[in-house]
Chains A and B, each alone.
Chain A
């Protein structure tokens, strides 16, 4: 009987736990995670179509260079 009573509480606990935002050890250590990722930075930089509209082409196209 006791087990049957515990089941709903256990289910609620599991749902809450699984919905909790995951934080890495690094983020917790530094305390800098709280700034939301739903920022204009992410919204823009994950949107290739938008980036193609706003990103400006470079004068030089790259290529290999260097000393070695």
Chain B
């Protein structure tokens, strides 16, 4: 994503002024002083806090957006995009039930290192996310569907974005990556699978996106419901979708993807990221109606027992092992023919998984030796050996 220049970041177009939102006076959303000279010196006066200047009005969406969009804002205030409760809840699981917000140092550390990932309305529909220095995406025009590149993967870029666009093709360790995601190649945007209701929430205060609401987790079968009926000659679909050992679709139809160890916070396992393809036991099996397979793809997430030590708080990850560090993965690099499904030169498809590529199974020897015991205990439900 090419960054916006200083002027482009704040340039407003005629099209915006002629749009519905452009009919409102600037000060009705942004406050500030609209009667200042057009000089560099006067810029501060125009945007001064004393003049009630508001750079990001939609952060207060109940004030500025709800008059017309109350159907959305009333739900959005409990959505995970806004509350980041998924993060807080997973922290609590590893911290012996303690709330991050109860410790001022931890709260400050979170604010400094993690809170930028929070998203208000504008960061998807007007500006680029704050985490990537923001700026008006379309010269202030509001847009219904967020930009794949400049909104969605501006935040979800380091794994999802790179995988979806096939950025790893040709990189060391990613030799099995042959193509970008088939859906990307077909021109599909994120919103084709991740609908507005998933982004905006439904008014319920969820804490764990992976299991709580099937409507908010896109399923391959939403579009490919006929995969079994339309492909009756494929024994592997029967075996691994209906049979005794069931797999997620992406177990066979993903390519190599990224795992992370090091965290932006600074402590924890070293090493930023590395290519992986690991099948683990489905540690979430039957925790919800749509988590039923025996095996799932997993990737290492950037967490370690000392990840938050730099924050200087009093809360430790005393129950670190309560959740795996090899976590459910949904690589966004789907292809029909992958290094596992391609039978060229092999007798049968299964030979790839059960023969030449059996390193795809997550085993105890795969964990990082720096935190050996913690990693072994945390991932006990995921190991295949």
Q: Is B227 an interface residue (CB 8 A)?
A: no
Expressed in whole angstroms, the Cα–Cα distance for A55 and B42 within the complex equals 12
Residue of B nearest to A45 (CB): B12
Q: How far is the CB of A37 from chain B (nearest CB, A)?
A: 6
- Which residues on the A side are within 8 Å of B5 (C-beta)? 52, 57
Expressed in whole angstroms, the Cα–Cα distance for A46 and B140 within the complex equals 11
Contact stretch, chosen from A2-10, A11-19, A20-28: A20-28
Contact in complex: B28, A35 (CB < 8 Å): yes
- Which residues on the A side are within 8 Å of B37 (C-beta)? 40
A23 with B23, Cβ < 8 A, contacts A39-B34, A61-B3, A62-B4 known: yes
Residue of B nearest to A44 (CB): B38
- Which residues on the B side are within 8 Å of A60 (C-beta)? 133
Among A30, A43, A61, A67, the residue within 8 A (CB) of B28 is A30
Contact in complex: B38, A64 (CB < 8 Å): no
Contact in complex: A29, B67 (CB < 8 Å): yes
Residue of A nearest to B30 (CB): A41
Residue of A nearest to B67 (CB): A30
Contact in complex: B133, A53 (CB < 8 Å): no
Contact in complex: B11, A51 (CB < 8 Å): yes
Contact in complex: B1, A63 (CB < 8 Å): yes
Contact in complex: A24, B158 (CB < 8 Å): no
Expressed in whole angstroms, the Cα–Cα distance for A60 and B3 within the complex equals 9
Contact in complex: B17, A37 (CB < 8 Å): yes
Q: Is A1 an interface residue (CB 8 A)?
A: no
Contact in complex: A24, B20 (CB < 8 Å): yes
A-B contact count (CB 8 A): 137
Residue of A nearest to B155 (CB): A66
Contact in complex: B158, A65 (CB < 8 Å): yes
Among B6, B35, B132, the residue within 8 A (CB) of A65 is B132
Q: How large is the interface on A (under 10, 10 to 19, 20 to 34, 35 or more residues)?
A: 35 or more
- Which residues on the A side are within 8 Å of B28 (C-beta)? 30, 32, 35
Contact in complex: A62, B133 (CB < 8 Å): yes
Contact in complex: A41, B20 (CB < 8 Å): no
- Which residues on the A side are within 8 Å of B32 (C-beta)? 41
Q: Is B205 an interface residue (CB 8 A)?
A: no
- Which residues on the A side are within 8 Å of B36 (C-beta)? 40
Expressed in whole angstroms, the Cα–Cα distance for A30 and B11 within the complex equals 26
Residue of B nearest to A38 (CB): B34
Contact in complex: A41, B117 (CB < 8 Å): no
Q: How far is the CB of A25 from chain B (nearest CB, A)?
A: 9
Of residues 95 to 147 in B, which have CB atoms within 8 Å of A's CB atoms? 117, 128, 131-133, 135, 140
Contact in complex: B11, A63 (CB < 8 Å): no
Contact in complex: B25, A64 (CB < 8 Å): no
Expressed in whole angstroms, the Cα–Cα distance for A48 and B12 within the complex equals 9
Q: Is B43 an interface residue (CB 8 A)?
A: yes
Residue of A nearest to B128 (CB): A62
Q: How far is the CB of B11 from chain A (nearest CB, A)?
A: 6
Q: Is B262 an interface residue (CB 8 A)?
A: no
Expressed in whole angstroms, the Cα–Cα distance for A32 and B133 within the complex equals 30
Q: Is B240 an interface residue (CB 8 A)?
A: no
- Which residues on the B side are within 8 Å of A45 (C-beta)? 10-12, 26, 140
Which of B6, B13, B33, B46 neighbours the largest number of chain A CB atoms within 10 Å of its CB? B6
Contact in complex: A24, B23 (CB < 8 Å): yes
Residue of B nearest to A54 (CB): B40
Q: Is B237 an interface residue (CB 8 A)?
A: no
Which of B13, B25, B117 neighbours the largest number of chain A CB atoms within 10 Å of its CB? B25
Contact in complex: B25, A36 (CB < 8 Å): yes
Contact in complex: B12, A66 (CB < 8 Å): no
Contact in complex: A56, B38 (CB < 8 Å): no
Contact in complex: A46, B20 (CB < 8 Å): no
Binding site for B on A (CB under 8 A): 22-24, 26-27, 29-30, 32-37, 39-48, 50-58, 60-68
14 sample A-B contacts, Cβ–Cβ < 8 Å, listed by A number: A26-B23, A39-B34, A40-B33, A40-B35, A43-B38, A45-B11, A46-B13, A51-B10, A54-B39, A55-B6, A55-B7, A55-B9, A62-B133, A65-B157
Given contact pairs A45-B10, A57-B6, A67-B158, enumerate 19 new A-B contacts (beta carbons under 8 Å).
A24-B23, A32-B28, A33-B23, A37-B17, A39-B26, A40-B34, A40-B38, A40-B46, A41-B27, A45-B11, A50-B38, A58-B6, A61-B3, A62-B132, A64-B1, A64-B153, A64-B157, A65-B154, A68-B157
